[in-house]
Amino acid sequence: MEYRKIGNSDLELSAITFGAWAAGGWMWGSTDRNDAIKAIQASYDEGVTSIDTAPIYGQGDSESIVGDALKGISRDKVQLVTKYGMRWDLAKGDFAMKSKDNSGKDIDVYKYAGKESIIKECEDSLRRLKTDYIDLYQIHWPESTTPIGETMETVAQLIKEGKVRYAGVCNYSVDQMKEGDRYVNLISNQVPYSMVKREIEKELVPYALENNKSILAYSPLERGLLTGKMKPGHQFAEGDHRAGLYYFKDENLRRTNAFLSTIAPLAADKNVSLSQLVLRWTIEQPAITIALAGARNAQQSVQNAKAIQVQLTKAEIDLITNELNKLELVK
């Protein structure tokens, strides 16, 4: 495994970080707790020491699964990355979405990052994760009802108290990062980035490079789209959020798979899977320090971890990018 320094901090995360959204089941058509625990443990055995989770993933389930999976592993051997600012138990802030919890009950989710809420969420996360500190604490989404200064000053307070080591953000614009950075040292921004979602290359990537900020790319396999395993006519399980996304329209599955077929010979030549080739390409992109890869079982998590073994020359990276630039999805 490769370990990369995050921003201007001394925090190092594994270049392939375990993304625990699917492990919580929520919006993924449920999950098996034991499979999720085994997935985390198997990835750790492959050198994946960093795990990204959030309270909203399964309304606490994902964090609890992470806490259980790491029993018996020395705390200083792992890096726990979690979030705050999405509440399903408090109707305050910006309404985010209607959803269902893991038992099928309707819930309303709000984006809220007021001081008292962050302090409560931090305590809840520490308890579920079975730890006394969080390595990287990130606001999950921007929200309009709380000044950024109040939010970031609260995280700075948690850092002083030793409950949090470093502050990061998720889904922030460059302007929001600049504002937040006035109150606490923001070392990273976790945003969606994949071969078919490259909008951040325009503004966020140049800003990150210029200001020594790390980008943590989530959904680098675009929720399974870039594995090459999804075919037109794919049927999603009930409750799977992907069913309504345009990426998974039959025409886009056809177009994506046609692109993947152009880079498949390179994967075959290196004796790696398409997923592994995609993950390696992703972490070779400018400012992309970490790729978060989710897994619902041990086999998937081991495959993701082994992506680090793929070696790409500049010419090979350029070849992939040139083919990729020909791909257009329909909305």
Active-site annotation, residues: 57
Burial 306-328 (b: 16+ CB within 10 A, else e): bbbebebeeebeeebeebbeeee
Structure tokens at 246: 């345009």
CA distance 281 to 307: 10
**The amino acid at 257:** N
Question: 16: which strand partners?
Answer: 291
State the DSSP string of 278-316. HHHHHHTSTTEEEEEEE-SSHHHHHHHHGGGG----HHH
Number of Cβ atoms within 10 Å of the Cβ of 53: 28
Q: What angle do CA 3, 9, 11 make, to 5 degrees?
A: 40
DSSP label at residue 237: P
Number of Cβ atoms within 10 Å of the Cβ of 213: 25
CA distance 163 to 137: 10
Collect all residues with Cβ–Cβ distance below 8 Å to 16 and sequence separation of at least 6: 1, 43, 48, 279, 283, 290, 291, 293, 304, 305, 307, 308
Residue with tokens 């270049």, as numbered in its chain: 15
